[in-house]
Amino acid sequence: MKRNLIKMIEDKKYNVVRVSKTEFELDNGDVYPHSFELDEEISVKEFQKFLDSSKGIMISLLKQIDEQ
């Protein structure tokens, strides 16, 4: 089960098209609130880097759990 989830996350590309201080939007129209308010404006490109990094961290954590 975990391996399927890891594969799904690895294969999925989340493309950010809009970022505000309170939420972000993906190219498929999904809008997600931030769990915190941004102190300053951030570009879509910068936020995309954060999102991609978060995805990498999540995959790493799931792989560690899978190995146990």
Q: Where are the domains of the chain?
A: 2-67
- For residue 22, give the DSSP letter: S
Pairing of strands 31-33, 16-19: unpaired
pLDDT of residue 24: 95
Residue found by looking up tokens 């309170």 in the block: 22
* Residue 48 near residue 16, CB atoms below 8 Å: yes
Structure tokens at 29: 């129209």
pLDDT in tens, 12-48: 999 999 999 899 999 999 999 988 878 888 999 999 9
The answer to whether the pTM exceeds 0.85 is: no
Confidence of residue 1 (pLDDT cuts 50, 70, 90): low
